[in-house]
């Protein structure tokens, strides 16, 4: 017997599309199900000005499949030279929806990120004044800090001081991976939310390392212990408005993942809704799937929820492709490690 679940069309509040041939290959995998997505600006070179965002937006719009309604929500890459006036003008024009903070060296293409947070205080103040959210990659990069502790240390050393200095700044902790992150978001009564990825709800660090290294499960922030994964699942499936979906779907061609120094990222745009339905059903929380994917994000960003609906149906296991082909090479799709019975009709 089949089951059906109809929800508002979802949004993805953290997405990597890359550029050029890769953009053209992976964008249809997102637009098939998602109405909007926060687009990450860590290209090479990064999207640092309003003019950069306008140009990148144009390339994305040109790659949207014909007849599909999809809105890319652009962001700027924060640097120590970011001009607060340029940020404000881009926001006023409706060109950008947020600014992205990468600590320098934290993840893929983050070398131009921030090392001295005192140099971006003026940007934070202007963003506070105009209500523009800051999206944060929440990890320190100090070599003496264990990679599994980077998120917790970032909260204590960087994020909490920023929030105390700029209490009116709206902040999204992106792709949280720890119980510490969950608890910190829950401790806030305003202006703080978090995205949770598809893959961090499903894998822990054993999936990466046990039985041989699994490069397609390697991501940043890296997956943590099982108790942290369970904390993420509890937060995502709770209905708490402070938590919402940001897939962090990040395409890398296989030859750059399966190498001596592989790239970080899991590509999950294609099967995310199927994966999430399985996770929420296992928790007895399907009634909260719409909030996590379609309601909480728009509410935090001050945008209307999508009026269009999608229907997921549960039946026989769904056969997804193992790879998405691009002119740059194949990209492996995230494998949850269990059968997927839910599919978007």
What is the number of other CB atoms lying within 10 angstroms of the CB of residue 55? 11
Distance CA 54, CA 57 (A): 5
3-state helix, strand, coil in the chain (%, to 5): 35, 20, 45
Tell me the sheet residues that pair with 89.
none
pLDDT, residue 329, reads 97
Residue by residue, DSSP assigns 63-102 as: HSPTT---EEEEEEE--TT--HHHHHHHHHTT-EEEEEE-
Cα first-last separation, the chain: 16
Length reported for the chain: 345
Which residues are identified as catalytic? 248
Distance CA 239, CA 258 (A): 37
Query: Domain residues of the chain, as ranges?
Result: 3-344
Note the CATH architecture for domain 3-344.
Answer: Alpha-Beta Barrel (3.20)
Report the half-sphere exposure of 101 (CA within 13 A, side-chain side): 30
Three-state DSSP class for residue 6: strand
pLDDT, residue 17, reads 98
Distance CA 24, CA 129 (A): 36
How far is residue 206 from each of residues 322, 328, 331, measured CA to CA in Å?
21, 30, 23
Report the half-sphere exposure of 167 (CA within 13 A, side-chain side): 3
Distance CA 276, CA 285 (A): 11
Q: Which of 36, 42, 68 is nearest to 56 (CA)?
A: 42
Element spanning 324, H or E: strand 323-326
* C-beta separation of 69 from 109 below 8 A: no
What is the number of other CB atoms lying within 10 angstroms of the CB of residue 160? 13
Residue by residue, DSSP assigns 53-73 as: HHHHHHHHHHHSPTT---EEE
Q: What is the mean pLDDT of each run of 10 residues along the chain (345 residues)?
A: 89 98 98 98 96 98 97 97 98 98 76 87 98 97 94 96 97 98 97 98 98 97 98 98 98 97 97 98 98 98 98 96 97 98 96
Angle at 243 between CA 239 and CA 249, to 5 degrees: 120
Distance CA 119, CA 261 (A): 32
Angle at 119 between CA 173 and CA 109, to 5 degrees: 55
Q: Say which residue the tokens 């994966």 belong to.
A: 275
Does the CA dihedral 226-14-305-155 come out positive or negative? positive
């Amino acid at each position: 017997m089949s089951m059906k679940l109809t929800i508002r069309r979802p949004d993805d509040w953290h997405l990597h599309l890359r550029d050029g041939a890769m953009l053209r290959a992976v964008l249809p995998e997102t637009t098939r199900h998602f109405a909007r997505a926060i687009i990450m600006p860590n290209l090479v070179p990064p999207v640092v000005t309003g003019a950069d965002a306008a140009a990148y937006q144009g390339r994305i719009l040109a790659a949207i499949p014909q007849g599909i309604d999809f809105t890319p929500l652009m962001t700027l890459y924060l640097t120590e030279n970011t001009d607060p006036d340029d940020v404000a003008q881009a926001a006023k024009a409706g060109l950008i929806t947020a600014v992205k903070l990468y600590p320098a060296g934290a993840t893929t293409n983050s070398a131009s990120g921030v090392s001295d947070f005192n140099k971006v205080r003026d940007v934070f103040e202007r963003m506070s004044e105009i209500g523009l959210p800051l999206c944060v990659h929440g990890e320190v990069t100090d070599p003496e800090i264990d990679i599994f502790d980077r998120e917790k240390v970032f909260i204590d050393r960087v994020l909490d001081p920023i929030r105390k200095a700029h209490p009116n700044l709206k902040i999204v902790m992106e792709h949280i991976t720890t119980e510490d992150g969950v608890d910190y978001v829950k401790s806030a009564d305003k202006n703080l939310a978090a995205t949770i990825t598809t893959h961090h709800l499903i894998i822990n660090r054993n999936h990466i390392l046990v039985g041989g290294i699994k490069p397609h499960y390697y991501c940043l922030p890296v997956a943590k212990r099982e108790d942290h994964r369970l904390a993420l699942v509890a937060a995502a499936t709770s209905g708490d408005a402070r938590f919402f979906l940001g897939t962090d779907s990040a395409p890398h061609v296989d030859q750059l993942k399966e190498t001596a120094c592989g790239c970080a990222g899991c590509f999950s745009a294609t099967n995310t809704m199927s994966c999430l339905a399985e996770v929420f059903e296992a928790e007895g929380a399907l009634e909260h799937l719409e909030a996590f994917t379609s309601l909480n994000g728009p509410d935090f960003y001050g945008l209307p929820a999508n009026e269009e609906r999608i229907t997921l149906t549960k039946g026989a296991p769904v056969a997804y492709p193992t790879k998405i082909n691009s002119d740059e090479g194949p990209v492996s799709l995230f494998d949850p490690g269990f059968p997927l019975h839910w599919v978007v009709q």
